[in-house]
Structure 1
């Protein structure tokens, strides 16, 4: 009797092992097919110089945003070289860090008190020279214009706005009225395909839990940008950030059609953009 039971258990164990093996092989096949599709799509964009994908590189940005931002301004030019960046932690890995090296002025805002204290220590030089303003504030719809326009004293036209707060990004961009950025960099939720509209429900107390409850789909951001007078001009290869430029500045400088369907990059979080050793401090003047 016992031998019979053991025999049955072994049979099911081997069946389960076989099933698991089949699942793994099937999963690998799907990944290989997806990678082939990705390779084709990336190649299509990289070979065409009007797409921004090929220009991405990392100096201090989280991914390859430094290079894409530089290329955008190579095409449209600068005005006052001012930026506002919301969501920077200690500032070392941010979209504004490299801009400071290039002589820009900026406003950094983050909701983490400890991170902002560290930021103020790391970037003491630019702050003392009044090149940089660093504010500790948890941004919401009811305070965004107060914090940026009054506390930070940033108003009117600026060159760049960057939003990375892992939650209410869509709502904050829609609400900012005190500044008029020529370029906007904002995270999108790459889980959703480029045809799908989705926006996280506004929550003033939202703190990201490392899940899919954050931001908005690229299509929803495309439509918001259009309403606000911006054109979607690209996304980075890793599928994290979307880039928008004021419509009147775009002319024939960026890809068409300017849609999520054409410019979407899927989530490729396995890709790493590593440039040298991790940043330890601000090494500018």
Structure 2
């Protein structure tokens, strides 16, 4: 595969992830054009917005901050193919949330960006098999350094470099879950297939 960075294009994503995802799915195809994304804030700048607006995907957006969720719900009210859900995600509740929202066991895209316990939540989702996983990693711990925040269901990022997990740690977890790292965008978030 060519370097994914050649395809970076920002439409609604924070960086070039929109173009990377379009190129990736043009190559591997889709099974149901279904996504789950959590940590979406208002949903105006996220991984799934381009897929929803330009490619007519369906799926679930989950947000745990009350004001952000109000904005998210309003911003996607005209998209009946998108379910918005208010919940603060932990490893204890994520599978119940997926079950409650009828998330299929196999779907195309999972995007995780909750600035903290991302590693632990992803690990809890081992029974689900998204084809592509995209998530933020902590670049303060470059490869080969390993770092994962201690699990705390109340974790809130405080603006320091103590959040999430290193790329090496997430790559190792990805291998355990059956994924391979295909790269990062120029600024950090990474894709697993």
Q: What is the TM-score with the length of structure 2 in the denominator?
A: 0.96
Distance 1:209 1:67 in 2: 31
Question: What do residues 75-131 of structure 1 show as CA deviations (whole Å, max 9, x unaligned)?
Answer: 2111100000010001000101111011100100010111111111121111xx2x0
Distance 2:11 2:167 in 1: 25
Partner of 1:243: 191
Q: Which stretches in structure 2 are left out of the alignment for 5+ residues?
A: none
Distance 1:64 1:116 in 2: 24
Map of 1:211-230 to 2, 5 A cutoff? 211-230=160-179
Contact map agreement 2:12 2:46 (CA 8 A) in 1? yes
Q: Does 1:180 align with 2:129?
A: yes
Partner of 1:55: 7
Contact map agreement 2:126 2:177 (CA 8 A) in 1? no
Q: Which stretches in structure 1 are left out of the alignment for 5+ residues?
A: 1-48, 246-285
Q: Does 1:234 align with 2:183?
A: yes
Q: Does 1:121 align with 2:79?
A: no
Q: What is the TM-score with the length of structure 1 in the denominator?
A: 0.66
Cα offset, 1:155, TM superposition: 2.3
| More helix by percentage | 1
Distance 2:111 2:16 in 1: 14
Matched residue of 2:69: which SS?
helix
Contact map agreement 1:149 1:179 (CA 8 A) in 2? no
Cα offset, 1:179, TM superposition: 2.7
Higher RCO (CA-CA < 8 Å; seq separation 6+):
2
Partner of 1:33: none
Partner of 1:90: 42
Segments of 4+ moved more than 4 angstroms: none
Matched residue of 1:230: which SS?
coil
Map of 1:1-285 to 2, 5 A cutoff? 50-101=2-53, 102-126=55-79, 129=80, 131-150=81-100, 152-177=101-126, 179-239=128-188, 241-245=189-193
RMSD: 1.1
Cα offset, 1:177, TM superposition: 4.0
